[in-house]
Structure 1
Amino acid sequence: MKRVLLPLLCILPACALFQKPPRPAHAPPEEAATVTIPLAFPTEGRHIIDGTILRAIQLAMEDYLPWDRKLPKNATPLYECLNRRESYVVAAAPASPGVVLVSIIPNPDVCDIGTAPILDAGATYAVDVKGWRILAVQD
């Protein structure tokens, strides 16, 4: 019995390391009832993103800003801002057959950076869209 119990007790804490990404939050039914989705999708401001490009962007963004990233307790407001995905703009384009470039760029209109440029933020990724892996990163 002890031979089975000891390995089991050693393995159980490791299970905590295998976490699924969080599911998106949904509004309560009362709030959802106030929103009407139109039958005709708006054309003004619409962005059409190919599924391959979308997946390449998701892969690069997950590497750049992982969903489970923890901020230090003494994080500055600028550091906090630069650790939110909505603080960036993304450009994506095919580079060669099977490779998509994804550039993640800080949006200066979102984070109050003052007059100093942000030199150490952002990155460009080369993503293999056949094997779904990151080939290279340029910071």
Structure 2
Amino acid sequence: MKTITLALALLLTPGCALFNRSHQPPRAPGAERGDFAFPMMGMKDVESTRIRGDLAMAIALAMDDFFLSMPPLPKDASPAEQCLRRREVWDVEALPHQEGVVIVGLSPRTEECDPHNVALDGGGLYAIDTTQWRILSVRK
């Protein structure tokens, strides 16, 4: 009986490892990826935005929670509703608030999803604890 339990545990262990893998973002095929020419970073004549690591992590936590908490889209969803599910149409503001807390605001660029500028509800405000990397509070 002990041998069966041990054998079963050994068989199930590799399967459990599948659930712990992080999501791997999609990558371009090798030929496209290999020939990309990167611009010089840090040059004064090149416009760039530098984001501190704690702000980037707070933004990622807030956006993941925001999009994962959305209800499933109905089959008859409007184009505007479908558009609001795309992360790239959301603007983000991150504000270091107090020691160990970052406020992250998410708001849709309504002109991207609704050219007629009909009021679209949406957005959220997050308080992120940057010492334990957790969400302290959410206002939607």
TM above 0.5: yes
CA contact (8 A) 2:106 2:124 kept: yes
Q: Residue in 1 aligned with 2:32?
A: 31
Structure 1 residues without counterparts, runs of 5 or longer: none
Match of 1:91 in 2: 93
TM-score, structure 1 normalization: 0.76
Match of 1:132 in 2: 133
Q: What is aligned with 1:61? A: 63
Count how many residue pairs are aligned between Structure 1 and Structure 2.
130
Structure 2 Cα separation of the partners of residues 81 and 42 of structure 1: 35
- Give the corresponding residue for 1:104: 106
Compared with structure 1, are the counterparts of its residues 73 and 95 closer, same or farther at alpha carbon in structure 2 (3 Å cutoff)?
same
Tell me the CA shift for residue 33 of structure 1: 3.6
1:45 aligned partner: 47
Q: What amino acid maps onto 1:92 in structure 2?
A: A
Letter in 1 for 2:36: V
- Percent identical: 35
| Structure 2 unmatched ranges of 5 or more | none
Aligned alpha-carbon RMSD (Å) = 3.1
